Structures are given as C-alpha cells and as structure tokens.
Amino acid sequence: MAYALATERLHDGTEQGRGSRPAWKALRRAAGRNLRAHAFLFGALVCFALFTWYPMVREIIMSFQRVHRGQTTWVGLGNYRQITADPEFWQAWGNTAEFTALALVFGFAAPFAVAIVVNEFRHAQGYLRILVYLPVMLPPVAGILLFKYFMDPGFGLFNQGLHFLHLPTSQWLASKSTAMPSLVVVSTWSNMGTATLVYLAALQGIPGDLYEAAELDGCSVLQRIRHVTIPQTRLILSLMAMLQIVATMQMFTEAFVLTGGGPEGSTTTVVYLLYNYAFSYNKFNTAAALGVIMLLVLACFSAIYIVLERRGGED
Amino acid sequence: MGRNRFQGRRPKKGADTYQRTLISRTQLNTARGKRFYWTALTIALVLASLVFIGPLFWMATGGFKTSQELVRNPPVLLPSHPSTHAFTLAWDRLGMAQLLWNTIVYAGGALLFQLIFCVSAAYSLSKLRPIFGNWILALMLASMMIPAAALVIPQYLTVLDLPLVHWNLQNTPWVIWLPTVANAFNVFLLKRFFDSIPNDLLDAASVDGAGPLRTLWRIVLPMSRPILGVVSIFAVVAVWKDFLWPLITVPAHETLNVGVNTAATSMPDNALVGGLFLASIPTIVLFLFFQRNIMAGLTVGGVKG
C-alpha cells in the first residue's frame, strides 16, 4: 500500500514535471515516512514478537522434541503419545468439559436473568449494578478463599443455612461429586458482574416499540422475552457464550487455590494438568504438547462459532 | 467542549422521555403493578446485598472475631469482643505492605508500558499507515484467538532466556510489564478510536509544521481521553487479577494474589479472613472511586469485543 503511495507520488512528481522535484526525492520521502511509522510500531512489535508470536512457534516445535540432559532430540509424536496415554489427561478434559458446561449454564443464565430484572427497575439501578460488579474487582484469591469458609462441610455457612432450612447438607469441595459444581458456584459469583453489565447495556438498546407491539399482539411477559429480548440481543449473547467457553476452559486459579486438583483428581483441569507437567514433573515438552492440543480444541470452537455466525447472518 | 455539546443532545432521563422496557409503565402504574414493583425491588435489593455484600461483611467482621467465634455454629453476626489483633497479625505475617507495593509497581508499570507502546502502535497503524501495516494488525488480532493459558510454557521459557540478548527476566518487574504490551485488544480498541478522528485535523497540524509525535501528543491524545481511560482500567485490572503468570515468573516478589494464597495455609483462621479483607480494601475503594469509568469501559469493551 505504501509502495502504491510512493509510486503515486512519483507519478505526480513527473507529471507536474518542471524538474524541480526529482523522482528519487519523493521515493526517499516515502521511505522516511515509512521508517517513522515503523518506529512508532517498534515497541509493540517487539513485545508481540517476543511474547506471542515466537512462543506460539516455539510451543509447536517444542511439542515434537524432548530434552534429556541438555540434549534436544526430535521424538515426533512421542510427547503426544505420552500425554494421551496418561489417564489424567482424559480425566482433565472430562473435568474441564464438566466445568465449562456447568459454568455456561449458570454463568450464562444467571447474568442474563439478573440483567432483565434489573433493567425493569426505575430505582436503585446504579446500586444494583455496583453490587453485581463488586466481586469482579476483588483480588480473585481473596474472593475464592472466602468460599473455602462458606463451603466447609463442618462449620461452613452454606451447610448451616441448608441445615436451618431442613435441607440436606453437602460436602461441597470435599467430595468427588460436588467439588466441581462448587467451583462453578465460586466462579459464577466472582465473574457474573461483567456479563450482567454487558447484557444490561444491550437490553437498553432494544427499541421500546417492539415490546409495545408484542404486548398489543397479546404476548405475555415470558413470550416477550422469547420473541423480543432474546432475538434482539442474539449477537451479544452468542459472542459472550463464545468468550465464556474460551475463558472457562482455561480455569485454573479456582482449582489451584481451593482444591489443589482433588479430591481424587476430580477438579484437575487441563490447565492444571499443564501446570503440573511443567512445574511439578518438569516435563516442559509434554506440557507443550498438551498446550498445542488445547490450542487446537479451542480453535475448533472458534471455527464452529464463526460458521454458526455466518449461517445466522444469512437467515 | 465537544463532549458537552454531545451530552446536551442526549435525551435526558426524566418523566417526559422514558425507555419502554419489557413491562409497560401503564401496567406498573396500576395499584397492583405498583405493589408488585416495590415488592420485587425490595426482594432484589435484599437478595443482591446479601449475596454480594454479605460475604464482604462476613470477611470484615470475621477479622474482629476470635478463631473459635469465626467457626461457631450457629454463626455469630457481630464479634462479642472485637479485637484488631487478627488484622495486625495478618498484616505482618503476610507482609501485606510488601505485597501491596509489588502489585502496585507491576500494575503501574504495565499501565505505563501499555499506554506508551499500544497507543503509538495504534496511532501508527491508524494514521501513519506504514507498509505491511494491515498484515501486522492481522497478526496481532490473530493472537486474540490464542488462549493465554495454552502459551504459558513457551512464554515462561522465553522470559527465562530472552532470544538474542539472553536476559533472564524472572523475578524482575519486566516479566510482568512487557508481555502485557502484547495485548491485541488494546491496540484494536485504540486503533478504532483513532480511525474516527478526522484526517483533516491531522493534515492541518501537519501544514502547521507539526511532526507525527507532536500531532499525537497535542491533537490525538487529548481527543482520546475516554478510550485511554478504558484501556488504563483494563490494564490495571488485568495485572491485579492475574494469578498463574505471576505465580511462576515472580516467585520472589509475589503479587497480592499469590502472596495471600502462599501464606493461607500457615495462618490462623481469623487472621486469614482479616487478611483477605485487607487485601480487598484497595480494590473496593478504587472501584467505588472509578466505578462510573469502569462501567463505561465495560460496555465499550463488551459490545465491540
């Protein structure tokens, strides 16, 4: 493009002629302009190259290599075979899928419902918005550790509350079957603020006449949600779903802080396994293979999303 | 100046103009509707306060309780003999001052580097339009598709031994600061905003003899205050909330998050709860102070993301 710009100038120079502005001068000016523009780009380019593009390539290369006593050898798919042979690998993907699915159901429905309700209020909207968003701003570890107390099977507030209501109590984080859902509760509490505010903004953009028309057509409140609210916010809903899938599939902090992957590996997520391979077992190359697998899986999700979006747009 | 003019045009919130939502106002203005509205609002307020402030209240009062009182069944609402002992213990044992300082240094530096490098990159891509600019932008945006956690291993190995210069950045603030610059979303947001600034303005500056740096400083930046606020908040919050990266790269100079987690196992219950509250205070204050800007930023980021 800049080349085109340079030749354009060149052309101008010759056409205006008069010999006062030789062609090479215009070329040099274009080069100078480009140099200056790239100087402005330099800092960001170096950072992108060092911390994104190079690691990306390096991860793929690493995943086919193994390092033994400082000697790097190519092992082909060896690392991939090793990681897929580990029963923890399949368990971790199962756990991650469970977390993602649950977090999607809760983390998706809860903020949307809250946003719809809050949007109806004419009072205290600002206060409610601040409340919902407050946990998002806390240092995550503080919010997460707090739930360790609430979820204690013995003295925890949750069980005391359930007991008070004569409901069966739960082992929460201590049992294999409830550990993952408990993490979903923590994660939803601390993260739902963002989605809620985004939905609120989207809801406020819906033209009121649509509701008016739906009401005149005899739609009940639920039908109005179904036929007006959801179609009108479809774009932002699907985008948030996509972002949430990608974010929840990378869950690590909650599991690391609250359960340490237990009990019996029931909360070991894929990122947790990756962390273990690299920093507990010192197998960086196997961890890199796992990273590549993760990239591929998430790329598939992105691809599916893009295809669905395209198809949705054609309708 | 310009901002005020736009604000004047925006319809004011009030009785004359209102946004019709799910339930019509006439329906709410009936006696039954009013009763329903106020009941629903009360329930929502109580529930939301309980769910979102309740834990914070429990944390704050928990620090004043003794450890036995904290875990008593049934729970006690307020401490019978409030004592600040747990807070001072937490402050000392956690090294809270140091943790806070580390986090502030990391967040502040990250903010500075992002503002300098992302702004100049976006300016270059938007207004100076260098050769291969579109390719570079595409490559940057492609990196948004990559899940951060999947790249942690090669990134970690890279900062241990930086290519070409062979510096080890571990345990230096650079290891937090520099990677945050590689934030495609920031560059994208800024570039889009700069695109909306009319070129005529920049041409006029250039006729007046201003170079690109001067134009950026004198014309583009003052016009971009809203977007700069958004990017700044994102930058600070991202560092504040990160866990995995500081856990592995700055083990000697921990962030608040990592430090609290490390010390958690070796502390009495009431001290830990008090510590959690102390760790949360700065964010709560900051949030209440900047909440308007944060909310605005969120909608920009969310809708365009």
Tell me the pLDDT tens digit for each residue of A270-283: 999 999 999 999 89
Q: Is residue A51 domain-shared with residue A175, that is, in the same domain? A: no
- Yes or no: say if B191 and B125 are a contact pair by the CB < 8 Å rule: yes
CATH of the domain at A99: 1.10.3720.10
Cα–Cα distance measured from residue A208 to residue A199, given in angstroms and rounded to the nearest whole number: 16
CA-nearest of B54, B69, B88, B177 to A46 is: B177
Residue A29 has pLDDT above 90, yes or no: no
Flag whether A132 is in a domain: yes
Task: Say if the Cβ atoms of A51 and B178 lie within 8 Å.
Answer: yes
What's the pLDDT band for A2 if we cut at 50, 70, 90? very low
pLDDT in 10s for each residue of chain B, 305 residues: 334 433 434 444 444 456 777 887 777 788 888 888 888 899 999 999 988 988 888 888 888 888 778 877 777 778 887 888 888 888 888 888 899 999 999 999 999 999 999 999 999 999 888 888 889 999 998 888 888 888 999 999 999 988 888 888 888 999 999 999 998 888 998 998 898 888 888 888 888 888 888 888 888 888 888 888 888 888 888 898 889 999 999 988 888 889 888 888 888 888 888 889 988 888 888 888 887 777 777 666 544 33
Q: Is residue A159 domain-shared with residue A300, that is, in the same domain? A: yes
Q: Is residue A183 domain-shared with residue A143, that is, in the same domain? A: yes
Residues 149-168 of A with CB under 8 A from B: 149-150, 152, 154-155, 157, 160, 164
- Yes or no: say if A37 and B124 are a contact pair by the CB < 8 Å rule: yes
What pLDDT score does A23 carry?
83
Q: Is residue A213 domain-shared with residue A120, that is, in the same domain? A: yes
Residue B48 has its nearest CB partner, among A131, A197, A271, at: A131
Any alpha helices (H) in chain B, and if so which ranges? 2-9, 25-29, 31-48, 54-62, 67-70, 85-94, 96-113, 119-123, 133-142, 152-160, 174-181, 184-195, 199-207, 212-215, 221-223, 225-241, 244-249, 256-263, 269-304
Q: Is residue A157 domain-shared with residue A302, that is, in the same domain? A: yes
Torsion of CA B257, B262, B267, B273, to 10 degrees: 20
**What would the pLDDT profile of A177-191 be if each residue is shown by its tens digit?**
888 989 999 999 988
Nearest CA in chain A to B148: A250
**What would the pLDDT profile of A73-91 be if each residue is shown by its tens digit?**
898 898 999 999 999 999 9
What's the pLDDT band for A20 if we cut at 50, 70, 90? low
Range of the domain at A63: 36-75
Flag whether A19 is in a domain: no
Residue A119 has pLDDT above 50, yes or no: yes
Q: Is residue A55 domain-shared with residue A173, that is, in the same domain? A: no
More confident residue, A10 or A61: A61
What residues of chain A lie within 8 A of the CB of B74, using their CB? 160, 164
Last residue of a domain, one of A50, A75, A100: A75
Q: Is residue A103 domain-shared with residue A153, that is, in the same domain? A: yes
Q: Is residue A155 domain-shared with residue A295, that is, in the same domain? A: yes
The total domain count for chain A is 2
Last residue of a domain, one of A21, A50, A75: A75
Flag whether A9 is in a domain: no
What pLDDT score does B1 carry?
36
What pLDDT score does A48 carry?
92
What's the pLDDT band for A294 if we cut at 50, 70, 90? very high
- Yes or no: say if B61 and B77 are a contact pair by the CB < 8 Å rule: yes
What's the pLDDT band for A14 if we cut at 50, 70, 90? very low
Task: Say if the Cβ atoms of A249 and B158 lie within 8 Å.
Answer: no
Flag whether A160 is in a domain: yes
**What would the pLDDT profile of A248-267 be if each residue is shown by its tens digit?**
888 999 999 988 887 888 89
Flag whether A116 is in a domain: yes
Structural tokens at position B253: 């100079």
Flag whether A18 is in a domain: no
Mean predicted lDDT score pLDDT of chain A: 85
Q: Is residue A280 domain-shared with residue A306, that is, in the same domain? A: yes
Flag whether A31 is in a domain: no
Q: Is residue A124 domain-shared with residue A248, that is, in the same domain? A: yes
What pLDDT score does A313 carry?
58
- What's the helix, strand, coil split of chain A in %, to 5? 75, 5, 20
Q: Is residue A54 domain-shared with residue A96, that is, in the same domain? A: no
What pLDDT score does B18 carry?
65
Task: Say if the Cβ atoms of B133 and A118 lie within 8 Å.
Answer: no
Chosen for mutation from A118, A138, A155, A296 (greatest number of chain B CBs closer than 10 Å) is: A138
The helix/strand/coil state of A170 is: coil
Structural tokens at position A202: 């989207």
User: Element (H or E) spanning A223, and its range?
Assistant: helix A221-224
What pLDDT score does B15 carry?
45
Q: Is residue A101 domain-shared with residue A244, that is, in the same domain? A: yes
Cα–Cα distance measured from residue A297 to residue A96, given in angstroms and rounded to the nearest whole number: 12
Flag whether A106 is in a domain: yes
